[in-house]
A = this chain, B = another copy of it.
Amino acid sequence: MTKLDESSIIKVFQRRLGNKNFVSEDVEVFSFGKTKIIAKTDTLVESTDIPPKMKLEDAARKSIVACVSDFAAKGIKPQYGIISVNFPSNISHTKIEDAAKGFRKACKEFKISILGGDTNAGREIVFNVCLFRISNDIVLRRGAKNKDLIFATGPFGYTAAGLSILLHKKKGKREFVKKAVKSVLRPKPRVDFGVRNKKYFSSSMDSSDGLSTTLNEMSKQSKKRFVITNSPHKKDLEDFARSQKLNQDKLVFHGGEEYEFLFTINSKYKKTILKNAKLLKTPIIEIGYVTTGKGVVLQRNNKEIPLKDHGWKHFR
C-alpha cells in the first residue's frame, strides 16, 4: 500500500466535490447577497502536531494562531470563532482546564469572540477551530506581476530547528534553543502588519506549509517565475545547522509551521513597506523578484537552482 500524501487526498476531494477551490486559498470566501464572509478552519492533531513538552494551553493557542495567521496573510483580522474539541475519555480534568485556558487567552490576545462549538470523545486530542469575519477585500495568492519584489515576514528556520531540538534531541546555544523552541510553542502571527499593508500587496500567502511550498504555490497561481536571491534567515541559524550537521536550506525552505507570510509588491512601495515594518516592529526581508516564466529558482553564485516544493506535509 502506497502512503498517501496530503496533496493527493486534496486532489480526490477537489475532483469528487467538483470544487477546484478546495484548499486553493488561505481562507474561504462565501457570499450571502452582498455580504462576503471570510472563514478559515484549521485542525491540530495530537499525534501529528503536538510535540513533546508542548502544554495543552499552548497547543490550544497554536490552533487559534494557525487560523489567525491565514487571516493575517490576507490582510484581515478574524472576529468570531467556533471550537470543536476531541478528548480521550481518560483525560484528566487539569488537561481540559489547560486547553480551555489556552483558548480563552488566545481569544483575548487576538480579540476573537467564541460563539460555541462541540466536544467529542476520541482516541487522541484534536482541536478544530473555525474563524470568521466579514470583508469585501482580501489579497489573493495569485496576482504577482513582473518585476514585483518578493518579501517575507520572518526570519525562517527557527521552527524546524526547534522541532529538531524537541523531537530529535539536537543541541544548540542556550539563547538559540530558547528562541527556536519558542517559535514552535508560541508562534506569533503578523496580524497588524498584514492588516495595515495589504493595500500594497499584489499577492500574499501564509507560509505555514513551508517556504518552498508557499513560493511554489504563489508562482503557480500567479503564472510567474519567482527568483529567490536571498535566504530569509539569521547568522545563528547557520551556526546551529553547521554544528548539528543539518542542512541549512532544508531548515529555512522546507521546514514549515512558521506562521509568517510572503507577499509581493510593486517596487515603488518598497520604501513605504520598510518604514511600516519598522513602525510595527515586524521584521520583513526582501528575498527576490517576480519575472516571466514559471517555477521557483534559487539564485546562487550566478547560477539558478530549481527550488522544488518540499515543504512540510501531513502524511509523510
List A residues at the B interface (Cβ < 8 Å): 1-4, 6, 8-10, 12-13, 15-19, 21-25, 28-30, 32-33, 35, 37, 39, 41-43, 45-49, 79-80, 82-87, 89-93, 96-97, 100-101, 103-104, 107, 113-124, 126, 128, 130, 132-134, 314-315
Contact = CB atoms under 8 A, between A and B. Distances in A.
Contacts of A96: 4, 9, 12
A18 B104 contact: yes
Residues of A contacting B: mostly? mixed
20 contacts: A6-B121, A9-B87, A12-B96, A13-B100, A16-B101, A16-B103, A17-B107, A19-B113, A19-B114, A19-B115, A22-B117, A28-B82, A28-B116, A32-B35, A32-B133, A46-B123, A48-B121, A48-B122, A121-B314, A128-B128
Contacts of A122: 45-48, 124, 126
A120 B23 contact: no
Nearest to A14: B100
Contacts of A82: 28, 39, 41, 130
A4 B116 contact: no
Contacts of A107: 17
Contacts of A23: 116-119
A121 B17 contact: no
A237 B153 CA distance: 64
B97 A12 contact: yes
A118 B42 contact: yes
A104 B16 contact: yes
A4 B93 contact: yes
A79 B123 contact: no
Nearest to A30: B80
B35 A116 contact: no
A115 B30 contact: yes
Given A12-B100, A30-B132, A43-B126, 12 more contacts: A3-B90, A6-B121, A13-B119, A16-B103, A22-B114, A29-B115, A39-B132, A43-B120, A43-B128, A48-B121, A120-B314, A130-B130
Contacts of A85: 9, 13
Contacts of A25: 116
